[in-house]
Structure 1
Amino acid sequence: MNIGVIGSGNIGANAAKLFAAAGHRVAVSNSRGPETLGELVRGIGPNARAATVEEAAGFGDVVMEAIPFGLYESLPAGGLAGKIFVTASNYYPGRDGEIDHDGLASSELVQRHLPGARVVKAFNTIYYERLRDNGRPDAPLEDREVVFVAGDDGEAKRVVSGLIEEIGFAPVDTGTLAGSRRQEPGSPIYNVPMGPEKAREMLAEMG
């Protein structure tokens, strides 16, 4: 599979490494340009290449963003139409400024900006060091750390869940994009390592 990654910080870089190690072809991009990504791409290996944001969007069958949420309107809506799009960003007012969510979850704002994309919220609740270190592809799913997934497109969620399993984690579905509030900062499940059984228990308690 071809995977575009927009954002080369801690989450984006480590996700790109894991996807490439699982055998996928990865195009990594950031706001500074492909010339700044040489060291990262060399470290990932032959399955990775540097790209512009627009190139990464066009390249990926799946495209993932891991950028500050306040920059979500910079995502290329035209280039992402029809794509499975993973949003891993979180809203922090102190960093991103005050953003009127109009009563929506953060992922719903991303979907509104990308009306043609098949948006899935994932990878936003796991600290980058755990993403880097805790994948266990050979372990049973119930023995793995959870990565939460939300979305309105069932097939898109299945594809993203499959990628999560390939890199050694256990996907747990939190529901729709509107329901993805349950995996935003401040939630009881945000940035808390747990297995699938505990995750399902906590989601049930949250309602």
Structure 2
Amino acid sequence: MRIAVLGAGHVGPVIARVAVEAGYDVTIAASGDPARIELITQVMVPGAKALWAADAAADADIVVLAIPLNKFATFDPKIVQGKLVIDTMNYWPPVDGIQELFEDPVLTSSEIVQRKLKDSTVVKTFNHLGYHELADDRRPPNHPERRAMGVAGEQPATRTVAEVIDAIGYDPVLLDGLAAGRVLQPGGTAFGVPLRKPEMKKEMQR
């Protein structure tokens, strides 16, 4: 499976690195010329290849959207047209400021992302752990301290993403629909909380 990570800030390189270490073919892209991040990629994500965003997405089975949320309004949906997209972004006004696109009180942030990326299939995950925890907290299957990771969206896309989550080192917990991903957002009961799989399932039932 080929994974393209769009975003080379804090989150993107960590996701790319753990995916490479899990055995996936990984490319990474920033907002411009890949030459700008080639050295960073070699140092932080050995084994991944830096490409233009459109080229990375074109050959990918899964595209990880890890761009700054304030850049999403100008993101070109055609880049990920027809793709399975993992939305890792969070709308957090104290950090991001007010973003009018995400001010709808009814929809989750990923539902808004899906509305813009109408020709893609969006799944929400990776967002409720800190990027610094993502690499450090990985554990093998059946480890007593293995953390859970929520995966919100529609099947079969969530099952495909769950395979990646499991391979990276987390127990995936499937949430039915992007609306259910509200618990993973800032302010949600699973956001930033180190839960095991039974604990997260219990949160889902509240």
Q: Same fold (TM over 0.5)?
A: yes
Instruction: Tell me by how many angstroms 1:73 deviates.
Output: 2.7
The runs of at least 4 aligned residues of structure 1 exceeding 6 Å deviation read none
Which region of structure 1 is more displaced relative to structure 2, 20-29 or 117-126?
A: 20-29
Alignment of 1:20-39 (within 5 A): 20-39=20-39
RMSD (Å) for aligned C-alpha atoms: 1.7
Distance 1:55 1:66 in 2: 16
Deviations 1:104-135 (A, max 9, x none): 11101111111111100000001112101111
For 1:91 and 1:185, how far apart are their aligned partners in 2?
Answer: 7
Distance 2:156 2:58 in 1: 20
Displacement of 1:145? 0.7
Question: Structure 2 vs 1, CA of residues 41 and 169 (structure 1 numbering), >3 Å: closer, same or farther?
Answer: same
Q: Is 1:134 aligned to residue 110 of structure 2?
A: no
The count of residues paired between Structure 1 and Structure 2 equals: 202
1:102 to partner: Cα distance: 6.3
Aligned to 2:93: 93
Residue 146 of structure 2 is matched in structure 1 by: 144
Partner of 2:157: 156
Which aligned pairs between 1:27-66 and structure 2 lie closer than 5 A?
A: 27-43=27-43, 44-46=45-47, 48-66=48-66
Instruction: Answer whether contact 1:57 1:76 (CA < 8 A) is retained.
Output: no
Structure-2 residue corresponding to 1:191 = 192
Q: Is the 8 A contact 2:3 2:63 kept in 1?
A: yes
TM-score (ref. length: structure 1): 0.90
Counterpart of 1:120, as a letter, is V
Q: Percent identity?
A: 31
Asked if the contact 2:53/2:79 (under 8 Å) is kept, the reply is no
C-alpha contact 1:27 1:59 (8 A) present in aligned 2: no
Which residue of structure 2 lines up, in the alignment, with residue 84 of structure 1?
84
Give me the whole-angstrom Cα distance separating, in 1, the residues matched to 2:172 and 2:144: 10
Deviation, 1:92, is 1.6
3-state SS of paired residue (2:156): helix
Shift in Å, 1:19: 0.8
- Per-residue Cα deviation, 1:116-174 (whole angstroms, up to 9, x for no partner): 111000000011121011111x331764111111012x011011000000011111122
> How is 1:101-116 mapped onto 2 (pairs within 5 angstroms)?
101=104, 103-116=106-119
Is there any run of 5+ residues in structure 2 with no aligned partner, and where?
none
1:54–1:76 Cα contact (<8 Å) kept: no
Code of the aligned partner of 1:39: L
CA distance in 2, matches of 1:12, 1:197: 28
Q: Is the 8 A contact 1:149 1:157 kept in 2?
A: yes
Counterpart CA distance in 2 for 1:73 and 1:166 is 32
Question: 3-state SS of the aligned residue for 2:3?
Answer: strand
SS in 2 for 1:101: coil
In the alignment, structure 1 segments of 5+ residues that lack a partner are none
Give the residue type in structure 2 aligned to 1:49: K
